[in-house]
């Protein structure tokens, strides 16, 4: 079988596939149109997020048996059409779930202890102890929306704290020893912290909006290491201003696909994002929750293992 690699990944991916007898070609620079002209030669291809895989692309991949996505989600692929053509879809959420769980916990503890604010102040000669008095996680309720690989990883990290962990998920019976599954209404009644661990779907797009936020009984903290499109930024900012959301840790933003760097030039920065970058109650990171040294290797290994299981 011939495999085309469209994004660079950990070298073990190609070396192990070579050892299994697959033929591996690499093309990290050609245009999508150029790839389409030769994709019929391949039985499989492996991609991260270089471009979307739509019906037109899939129609040209006449010999395709599988698509490997070195990441957790498959939202850049027309999955329904691919499956109709009997193409196996392989993702690797097992590969970076631990990284996402650790990053989520790190953001939450940083918010509770005002670490980013305190760090900046000390570096600028300010020694403000009372103003940086933190709060403790113990005794609070953490609510998770989405309880797959990422949600379960975060819940496992929380076992060392005296907290109640609740989850809401469309699938039934996903709760376990680390987390109790409840209705959305019950989660909104009890949660002090809300952490998102959902894929990008029509149901999750713009999910966190003003009505949704106001349905929470308590004021709460928000952690989003899932997808930026799930949160309506202007509604988040309004809730930060009125205190309904006490703080936010955001690894993903709705602006990512609109060229993040351009937001900082030519007066293109949305007012809501301007507020986020200036707020002491917000922590931002550049979509790196699952982006560790270890997860790079684990993601590649997961793809190899799944290809071997299915096609060797």
User: How many residues are present in the chain?
Assistant: 312
Based on its alpha-carbon atoms, the radius of gyration of the chain, rounded to whole angstroms, reads 21
Per DSSP bridges, beta strands 180-181 and 44-47 are: unpaired
Using the predicted structure, report yes or no on whether residue 258 has a pLDDT greater than 70: no
Chain position carrying tokens 């975060």 = 154
Dump pLDDT digits (tens) for 8-49.
999 999 999 999 999 999 999 999 999 999 999 999 999 998
From CA 312, how far away is CA 18, in angstroms rounded?
12
pLDDT band at 268 (very low <50, low <70, confident <90, very high): confident
What is d(CA 104, CA 146) in angstroms, rounded to the nearest whole number? 14
Stretch among 94-98, 142-146, 261-265 having the lowest mean pLDDT: 261-265
* Alpha helices (runs of H) in 130-232, residue ranges in sequence order: 149-157, 184-190, 210-214
- Give CA–CA dist 4/147, Å, rounded: 33
Question: Collapsing DSSP states into helix, strand and coil, what is residue 182?
Answer: coil
What is the CB neighbour count within 10 angstroms for residue 286? 11
Per-residue pLDDT tens over the stretch 153-210: 999 999 999 999 999 999 999 999 999 999 999 999 999 999 999 999 999 999 999 9
pLDDT reported for residue 259: 60
- Residue 264: the pLDDT is 79
Lowest mean pLDDT among 48-52, 91-95, 230-234, 292-296: 48-52
Distance (Å, whole) CA 89 – CA 86 = 9
Q: Which residues of 122-153 are buried (b: 16+ CB within 10 A; e: fewer)?
A: eeeeeeeeeebeeeebeebbbbbbbbbbbbbb
pTM greater than 0.85 (yes/no):
yes
| CA nearest to 73, candidates 305, 284, 228 | 228
């Amino acid at each position: 079988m011939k495999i085309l690699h469209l994004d660079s990944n950990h070298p073990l991916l190609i070396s192990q596939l070579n050892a299994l007898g697959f033929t591996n070609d690499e093309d990290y620079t050609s245009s999508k149109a150029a790839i389409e002209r030769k994709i019929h030669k391949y039985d499989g291809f492996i991609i991260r997020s270089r471009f979307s895989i739509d019906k037109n692309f899939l129609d040209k991949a006449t010999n395709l048996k599988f698509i490997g996505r070195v990441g957790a989600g498959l939202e850049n692929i027309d999955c329904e059409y691919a499956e109709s053509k009997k193409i196996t879809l392989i993702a690797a959420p097992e590969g970076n779930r631990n990284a996402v769980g650790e990053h989520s916990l790190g953001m939450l503890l940083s918010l509770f202890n005002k670490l980013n604010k305190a760090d900046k102040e000390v570096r600028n000669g300010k020694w403000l102890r009372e103003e940086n008095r933190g709060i403790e996680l113990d005794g609070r309720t953490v609510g998770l929306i989405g309880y797959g690989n990422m949600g379960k990883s975060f819940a496992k990290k929380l076992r060392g704290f005296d907290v109640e962990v609740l989850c809401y998920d469309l699938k039934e019976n996903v709760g376990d020893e680390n987390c109790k599954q409840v209705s959305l209404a019950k989660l909104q009644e009890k949660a002090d912290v809300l952490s998102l661990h959902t894929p990008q779907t029509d149901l999750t797009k713009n999910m966190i909006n003003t009505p949704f936020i106001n349905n929470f009984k308590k004021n709460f903290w928000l952690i989003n290491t899932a997808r930026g499109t799930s949160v309506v930024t202007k509604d988040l900012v309004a809730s930060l201003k009125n205190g309904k959301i006490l703080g936010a840790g955001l690894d993903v933003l709705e602006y990512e696909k609109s060229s993040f760097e351009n937001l900082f030039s030519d007066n293109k920065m949305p007012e809501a994002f301007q507020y986020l970058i200036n707020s002491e109650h917000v922590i931002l990171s550049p979509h790196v929750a699952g982006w560790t040294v270890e997860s790079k290797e684990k993601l590649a290994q997961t793809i190899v293992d799944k290809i071997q299981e299915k096609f060797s």
